[in-house]
Amino acid sequence: MKIKENNRMKRAGKLAGLVLLVIGFALSVFPESADAQIAVKGETVYTMNGNAISNGVVLIRDGKIERVGSANRVNIPSGYEVHEAKVVTPGLIDARSVVGLAGYYNQDHDQDQLETSSAVQPELRASDSYNAREYLVQYLREHGITTIQTGHGPGAVISGQMMIIKPVGDTVDQALVQDGTMLSMTLGSGVSRAFNSPGTRSKAVAMLRQELIRAKDYAAKRAEGETNGTDLKSEVMADLIDGKITAMINVQTAQDINTAVRLQREFGFPMVLEGAAEAYLLIDEIKEAGVPIIIHPKMARPGGAMKNVSFETASKLREAGIPVAFQSGYEGYVPKTRVVRYEAAIAAANGLGMENTLHALTIGAAEILGIADRVGSLERGKDADIAMFDGDPFEYLTNVQGVIINGEVVYKPE
């Protein structure tokens, strides 16, 4: 009996050891991420939900912000991983990019931002081309950018649908926040000459107007149950007419801005202007239309339709009460992306100021993109997306000290 009992005990011991081995292996393969408990301490914490907090603390649990306040009111529980920085802000938001579609190598295999077989292709989805493993995605993340609206570039009358991602994960599904957010359009001389048509402004507007007329008819039939949902182009355009998707129209000159505003007034679809180099010439008209602006990259080279760009445009729009966000946009040369923090810094130094610039780069952008319930400010229950700096985020020599997305530390410099 004693021999049998000893054998049972040995077998039980071996089984327990095997279980511990399996658990240890699982923990090594699947480390804690969103379940992490983190405390971020900052000499100054900009919550974008009230005044900045001196000597502030942000507590993070299960990927969400748990509590925010001054260090003398918020105790850090034992077991929390502590990170410290001079300046703490919400994660920065790039409101218009092509990153993940336009890649680092600038070769045919990583350039999916503009399909040139037709000038009108609303059915194209950015999520079908997005490469989550693209190096430029990681590059932007390391600069404190935690949310990006990316997708098809300007250049077609209708280039395709945009999407909102976070620069994390290895697949589009892991990165995706929202699909089909805006419809990328272009009017004016920005329409690529790669297309046989349109060749002039009036032709581009006529093509767009025709699509909108068809969309109104299709939307009416859809409302009556007379469609089967298999016409991808018509479905998306009807969504625009019904206000389920927003037109993001790339225009630069006052002439083209005015055309976009007139079209929006004619058909009533939701719209955001993108680029808008000469917006300062039409401030009253833009304000009356109630249209937000994703301002052009501030360091864009003046020339062509952008010959009259101004460093002060964002400041003038803000002063007039017009919502503004910043973008990295698209560049036709390597490395194919700008860093939106540096673009915004130019506006900060030219009348907008540090806190107004930070507002436009965080909660202001989140409001324009319709995701302010999740990101853009440091508030209880929101996604734990945080950028940490060793100084003013808009000073060129300031370094990123850490980046947290969804409660996980995704970047920490050596």
- The predicted model gives 161-184 an average pLDDT of 98
Task: Give the strands of the sheet with 408-411, arranged side by side.
Answer: 64-70, 53-61, 37-45, 81-90, 386-389, 400-405, 408-411
Which pLDDT score, from 0 to 100, does residue 334 have? 63
pLDDT tens column, 134-164: 999 999 999 999 999 999 999 999 999 999 9
pLDDT tens column, 209-242: 999 999 999 999 999 999 999 999 999 999 999 9
Entry pTM: 0.91
Which band of pLDDT confidence, cut at 50, 70 and 90, is reported for residue 106? confident
Which pLDDT score, from 0 to 100, does residue 36 have? 78
In angstroms and rounded to an integer, the radius of gyration of the C-alpha atoms of the chain is 25
Which band of pLDDT confidence, cut at 50, 70 and 90, is reported for residue 403? very high
pLDDT tens column, 295-311: 999 999 899 999 999 99
- The predicted model gives 65-74 an average pLDDT of 97
Which pLDDT score, from 0 to 100, does residue 1 have? 47
Which pLDDT score, from 0 to 100, does residue 212 have? 98
Mean pLDDT across the chain, nearest whole number? 92
Which pLDDT score, from 0 to 100, does residue 352 have? 98
Are the beta carbons of 282 and 314 closer than 8 angstroms? Answer: no
**Encoded amino acid at 379, one letter:** E
Which pLDDT score, from 0 to 100, does residue 6 have? 52
Are the beta carbons of 65 and 378 closer than 8 angstroms? Answer: yes
- The predicted model gives 388-411 an average pLDDT of 97
pLDDT at 15 over 80: no
Straight-line distance from the first to the last Cα atom of the chain, in angstroms, rounded to the nearest whole number: 61
pLDDT at 94 over 70: yes
- The predicted model gives 117-146 an average pLDDT of 97
- The predicted model gives 182-204 an average pLDDT of 96
pLDDT at 14 over 60: no
Enclosing H/E stretch for 394: none
> What are the chain's domains?
32-90+377-414 (2.30.40.10), 92-375 (3.20.20.140)
pLDDT tens column, 26-58: 443 334 444 679 999 999 999 999 999 999 999
Instruction: Say which residue the tokens 């976009």 belong to.
Output: 260
Sheet strands (E) in 253-334: 271-275, 293-295, 324-326
Are the beta carbons of 97 and 327 closer than 8 angstroms? Answer: yes
| pLDDT above 70 as % of the chain | 91
Instruction: Say which residue the tokens 């748990």 belong to.
Output: 66
